[in-house]
């Protein structure tokens, strides 16, 4: 259903407020650069510090600017099932193509609790849902068995896998129908993830290298391995630099170097260190994005 280079959109800000015009300009640039899909209001979009009104507004702005040109997967997750249902219903009403729902963080549900959480969401809202499995942030890891069980439900259509376990996509592919899309949440391992049965990536790096990320995925789909390898190698140092501090600090700074956003993040994220700025700039030059 979804494949290729999908961008986990940053949310540009000015003086603590969402830069609505800047955000819509950024969305338009992403589409024009070849990005295959957009993911607003995820962690990279600073969803933890957006209030509900802001969260819904960002989704609406994205849909308005996109005008149906590429799919939109709205981040609607929460560690409250009722809140996740509310945000997912809003995404459907606003016109999103799917919802990205993170495994509940902090309250650490069991596998049965995870199953119940997602089932309640898809029972309540008729919208395709992609599971976001990111143990490093949520402290829970959905098993392949639980995911296969959920995949039998209508509207559970895929996973954003940020486990860093490169055996996982193959195990999932063998346990679940091929129609279930597997999207990486780890830029640095995307080459191996695709080789293990993955379909694409919900990417942080695509915020600043949309054309190069799209080229990598299109080359993979076309089995143009020379172009794929070249893009993979150019992107490697950039993937590393954009996670030198907590995301989205480094990628927002990188976007500011391109004139696409201010570097501003909401507290508790601090401005990145000077050494990190140097690492990001050097990686951007290495990738051919800056002179």
Catalytic annotation, residues: 132, 160
The residues, any chain, with a CB within 8 Å of residue 185's CB and separated by 6 or more, are 132, 133, 134, 160, 161, 162, 201, 202
Structure tokens at 188: 């640095």
Report how far residue 13's alpha carbon sits from residue 1's, in angstroms, rounded to the nearest whole number: 32
37-39 β-sheet, strand order:
37-39, 4-8, 200-203, 181-184, 156-161, 129-133, 98-102, 73-75
DSSP 146: H
Instruction: Determine the length of the chain.
Output: 291
Report how far residue 77's alpha carbon sits from residue 86's, in angstroms, rounded to the nearest whole number: 10
Which residue's entry shows tokens 């490093």? 136
Structure tokens at 252: 């927002």
Helix or strand holding residue 192 (H, E)? helix 190-195
The residues, any chain, with a CB within 8 Å of residue 209's CB and separated by 6 or more, are 235, 238, 287, 289
Structure tokens at 267: 């507290």
Rounded CA Rg of the chain: 18
Structure tokens at 210: 């949309």
Pairing of strands 17-18, 13-14: antiparallel
């Amino acid at each position: 259903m979804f494949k290729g280079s999908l961008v986990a959109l940053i949310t540009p800000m000015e003086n603590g407020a969402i830069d609505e015009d800047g955000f819509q300009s950024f969305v338009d640039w992403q589409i024009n650069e070849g990005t295959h899909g957009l993911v607003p209001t995820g962690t990279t979009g600073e969803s933890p510090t957006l209030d509900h009104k802001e969260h819904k507004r960002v989704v609406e702005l994205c849909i308005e600017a996109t005008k149906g040109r590429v799919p939109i997967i709205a981040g609607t997750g929460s560690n409250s099932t009722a809140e996740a249902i509310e945000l997912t219903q809003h995404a459907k009403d606003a016109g999103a193509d799917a919802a990205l729902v993170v495994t509940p963080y902090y309250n650490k549900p069991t596998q049965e609790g995870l199953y119940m959480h997602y089932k309640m969401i898809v029972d309540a809202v008729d919208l395709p849902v992609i599971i976001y499995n990111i143990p490093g942030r949520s402290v829970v890891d959905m098993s392949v068995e639980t995911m296969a069980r959920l995949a039998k439900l209508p509207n559970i259509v895929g996973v954003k896998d940020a486990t860093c376990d490169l055996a996982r996509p193959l195990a999932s592919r063998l346990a679940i129908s091929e129609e279930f899309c597997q999207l990486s949440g780890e830029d640095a391992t995307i080459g191996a993830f695709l080789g293990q049965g993955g379909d694409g990536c919900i990417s942080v790096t695509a915020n600043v290298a949309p054309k190069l990320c799209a080229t990598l995925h299109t080359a993979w789909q076309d089995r143009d391995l020379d172009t794929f390898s070249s893009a993979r190698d150019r992107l490697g140092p950039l993937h590393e630099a954009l996670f030198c501090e907590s995301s989205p600090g480094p990628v927002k700074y990188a976007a500011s170097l391109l004139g696409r956003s201010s570097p501003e993040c909401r507290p508790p994220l601090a401005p990145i260190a000077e050494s990190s700025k140097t690492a990001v700039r050097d990686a951007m030059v290495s990738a051919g994005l800056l002179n």
